[in-house]
Amino acid sequence: MAIEILKTGLLTTVQDLGRFGFRKAGIISSGAMDSLALRLGNLLIGNDENEAGLECTLIGPEIKFHNETTISIVGGNLSPKLNGREAKMWSPLQIKAGDVLQFGRAVYGCRTYICFSAGFAIEDVLGSKSTYLKAAFGGWKGRRFHKNDHIPLKKPIYTPLANQNWLLGQSIYPRLNQNRIRVIKGPEFEWFAPQSLEKIETSCFSVGADSDRMGYRINSYRLERKNPKELLSSAVTFGTVQVSNDGHLIILMADHQTTGGYPRIFQVATVDFSILAQAQSGMEFSFEIITHDLARKLLIEREQEIKKLKQALQLKFDINGA
């Protein structure tokens, strides 16, 4: 059971939901930039939510299948084609030996996820299959895919999902043209001058070209501090918004460091991580400051929707553990 990489795409790696419990040793979490997309893609084909899939960035790979299996394609739309014909997203796809999956231009978003029935037959590293590129471990040989790589797959799980002509509804996954990022005030929010803070919610920001899985550099006006205080290196996480010494914003992403010394002005609400993860360079957006209670309420509501989806799949298709 294997797939063959005919073309690599811009950046194609193996990712699951991340590597946890080792930050105290300086080992980052990594994992999918758009974890919601990966979770839903796995549920569609009867996998555990944390099963590893392929994260494909902006330009997708070309993949040949050497065995029958079931896949799903979710997240950003990079114009997938199966044997030269448009491939359906957000739905289980039955694959035959010899089939070829290709991608074209990015219609919306910039990261698509390919999930495979039962997942990859590769070893975990510290409890995860996620690729940590800078440390060169995890995933497939600790690196992005190369042409002619053969990636082993587990024996697929039979599921009646693959025999049904249906699509996942759009109520759970956010609209990616929604260019509003909701944030909570960070620990150092009050460090900044009132004239800088009062413009936050009425200003337009954009994702800089110098952005990657570690973080996004944001094009913005210069934020001024009240006092030139120094911050001891402090905990940061996915979605932490820092202000660099030159007064510009940095949003930390999946491969973020474990601690940082820049003041933390905001924390992006978890429900908007997908919008952020799918942002292409140059995407314009605005910030909306919300309360911690509202951010938690929004997240709970989304998790309840996912729970309903899992229950519906279990009842309708009799899938255990989907």
Q: Is the pLDDT of residue 160 over 70?
A: no
Q: Is the pLDDT of residue 289 over 80?
A: yes
Structure letter (DSSP) for residue 172: S
What digits encode the pLDDT tens for the residues 98-156? 999 999 999 999 999 999 999 999 999 999 999 999 999 999 999 999 999 999 999 99
Q: Is the pLDDT of residue 322 over 50?
A: no
H/E stretch holding 289 reads: strand 284-289
Give me the domains of the chain, ranges plus CATH numbers. 2-173 (no CATH), 180-290 (2.40.100.10)
Q: Is the pLDDT of residue 321 over 60?
A: no
Residues 6 or more apart in contact with residue 175 via CB below 8 angstroms:
none
Residue written as token pair 């997942």: 119
What is d(CA 243, CA 238) in angstroms, rounded to the nearest whole number? 15
Question: Which among 91, 57, 98, 59 is positioned nearest to 73, based on CA atoms?
Answer: 91
Phi, psi of 194 (to 5 degrees): -55, -40
What one-character-per-residue DSSP string does 185-230 give?
Answer: E-TTGGGB-HHHHTTGGGS-EEE-SS--SSEEEEE-PPPPBSS---
